[in-house]
């Protein structure tokens, strides 16, 4: 790639490598980098990697989170670490860490975002592209409020991100900033760059006519006790022609629930069944919400079509993607994982499987969301 093009560097290592951080540093190249993102398998020695990241990338903002799987040129991976480096010759970055999300205020979050944008504009106004990346504790139950607050400070700037994962255990998720691991926290990276950007958010779901109304819920814990005034798990299972005892994460991935927002439908994904026969959801839910059962169409075919569209008018230099764990479960259960892997490989995608995705003011489920990076002037030429 010529020196005039923007290169978002990518590197990958096994979590059980003798020194995975050193391997990632070699893979990224000499730098210097304005920002390094790390997506860490929960199988890794997280405290050791957090400490080592500061030593391996001195003087560089290093942030990241744990995953429910990784996206690499080889497709879906587990037990690995993904690194993306944003070179200082093409990018400038600010990193904001919000701890104690359960106590954070929307006004303070929006103000911090605005201040970071102002500092970057003052110091790096020659870099015309502006965007933000959000990594958040996937078990914090605060993603909806956080995305809305950040969007208030982001204006028209693209904001995308993902919720940290813990495989399919749903026990503990972490975000990383400057060698420290945090829970109940989020890291927001605000960047300016010499590049063109295209944000995207895709799903492959079609709503059906089967509907249910949330008639008993606790929004604070994203728990639904009753659907159609019946125990939630039993009613959902009845509509599927099954029993509540047969419900599992695969059932939820292949039979998602969606809510209509404006002209679009967005997934309200079920995380698990409670001991009382209710549901815990991955995103905001409340009484009175009308949910429709949705059916997945061809995940791999839809993904290939959408990513091919991103190749016009030129192939992206890199694609950063946040892909819901439920999409991965679906691909594996329907024997499409190999085909999806080939598609990801062909489009130079790096990222991780999430417990939720952020796109502007929305916290989403069962999407693949992210940013495609192009050489400067690429999209302007298309518009002309």
What average pLDDT does the chain have? Answer: 94
- Do β-strands 80-87 and 9-14 pair in parallel, antiparallel, or remain unpaired? antiparallel
pLDDT single digits (tens) 66-123: 999 999 878 899 999 999 999 999 999 999 999 999 888 788 999 999 999 999 999 9
State both tokens at 133.
């990346």
pLDDT single digits (tens) 109-149: 999 999 999 999 999 999 999 999 999 999 999 999 999 99
pLDDT at 294: 97
Cα–Cα distances (Å) from 279 to 234, 274, 276, 354, in that order, read: 10, 6, 9, 19
DSSP letter, residue 198: E
Nearest to 281 by CA among 331, 332, 214: 214
pLDDT at 305: 96
* Averaged pLDDT for residues 175-189: 97
State both tokens at 303.
């993904």
pLDDT at 5: 65
> What structural domains does the chain harbor?
9-202+300-383 (no CATH), 205-295 (2.40.30)
pLDDT at 263: 83
Which of the four pLDDT bands, split at 50, 70 and 90, describes residue 381? low
Cα–Cα distances (Å) from 170 to 132, 225, 239, 247, in that order, read: 26, 20, 26, 17
pLDDT at 215: 98
Nearest to 63 by CA among 149, 133, 127: 133
pLDDT at 3: 42
Cα–Cα distances (Å) from 127 to 6, 9, 23, 119, 192, in that order, read: 12, 18, 30, 13, 6
Distance separating alpha carbons of residues 256 and 15, to the nearest angstrom: 32
**Buried-state track 116-142, b at ≥16 Cβ within 10 A, e below 16:** bbeebeeebeebebbbbbbbbbbbbbb
Which of the four pLDDT bands, split at 50, 70 and 90, describes residue 2? very low
Degrees, nearest 5: CA angle 98-102-105: 65
* Averaged pLDDT for residues 250-259: 96
pLDDT single digits (tens) 300-310: 999 999 999 99
* Averaged pLDDT for residues 290-297: 96
Nearest to 83 by CA among 61, 64, 60: 64
Nearest to 233 by CA among 215, 251, 221, 247: 247
pLDDT at 7: 79
* Averaged pLDDT for residues 36-42: 98
* 4 has a pLDDT exceeding 60: no
């Amino acid at each position: 790639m010529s020196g005039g093009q923007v290169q978002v560097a990518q590197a990958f290592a096994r979590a059980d490598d003798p020194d995975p951080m050193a391997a990632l540093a070699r893979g990224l190249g000499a730098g210097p980098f304005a920002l390094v993102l790390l997506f860490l398998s929960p199988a890794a020695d997280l405290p050791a990697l957090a400490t080592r990241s500061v030593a391996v990338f001195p003087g560089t903002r290093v942030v990241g989170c744990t995953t429910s799987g990784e996206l690499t040129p080889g497709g879906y991976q587990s037990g690995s670490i993904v690194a993306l480096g944003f070179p200082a010759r093409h990018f400038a970055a600010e990193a904001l860490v919000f701890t104690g999300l359960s106590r954070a205020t929307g006004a303070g979050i929006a103000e911090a975002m605005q201040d970071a944008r102002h500092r970057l504009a003052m110091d790096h106004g020659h870099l015309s592209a502006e965007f933000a990346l959000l990594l958040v504790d996937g078990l914090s139950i605060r993603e909806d409020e956080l995305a809305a607050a950040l969007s208030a400070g982001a204006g028209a700037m693209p904001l995308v991100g993902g919720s940290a994962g813990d495989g399919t255990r749903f026990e503990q998720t972490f975000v990383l900033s400057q060698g420290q691991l945090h829970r109940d926290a989020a890291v927001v990276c605000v960047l300016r760059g010499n590049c063109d950007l295209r944000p995207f958010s895709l799903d492959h779901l079609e709503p059906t006519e089967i509907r249910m109304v949330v008639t008993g819920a606790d929004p604070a814990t994203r728990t639904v006790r009753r659907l159609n005034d019946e125990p939630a798990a039993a009613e959902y299972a009845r509509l599927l022609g099954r029993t509540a005892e047969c419900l599992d994460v695969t059932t939820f991935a292949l039979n998602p629930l969606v809510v209509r927002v404006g002209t679009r439908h967005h997934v309200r994904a079920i995380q698990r069944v409670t001991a009382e026969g209710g549901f815990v959801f991955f995103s905001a839910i409340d009484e009175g919400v009308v949910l429709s059962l949705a059916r997945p169409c061809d995940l791999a075919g839809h993904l290939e079509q959408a990513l091919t569209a991103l190749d016009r008018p030129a192939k992206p230099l890199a694609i950063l993607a946040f892909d819901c764990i439920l999409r991965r479960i679906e691909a594996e259960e329907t024997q499409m994982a190999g085909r999806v892997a080939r598609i990801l490989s062909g489009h130079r995608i790096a990222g991780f499987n999430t417990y939720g995705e952020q796109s502007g003011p929305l916290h989403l489920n069962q999407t693949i969301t992210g940013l495609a990076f192009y050489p400067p002037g690429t999209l302007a030429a298309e518009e002309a």
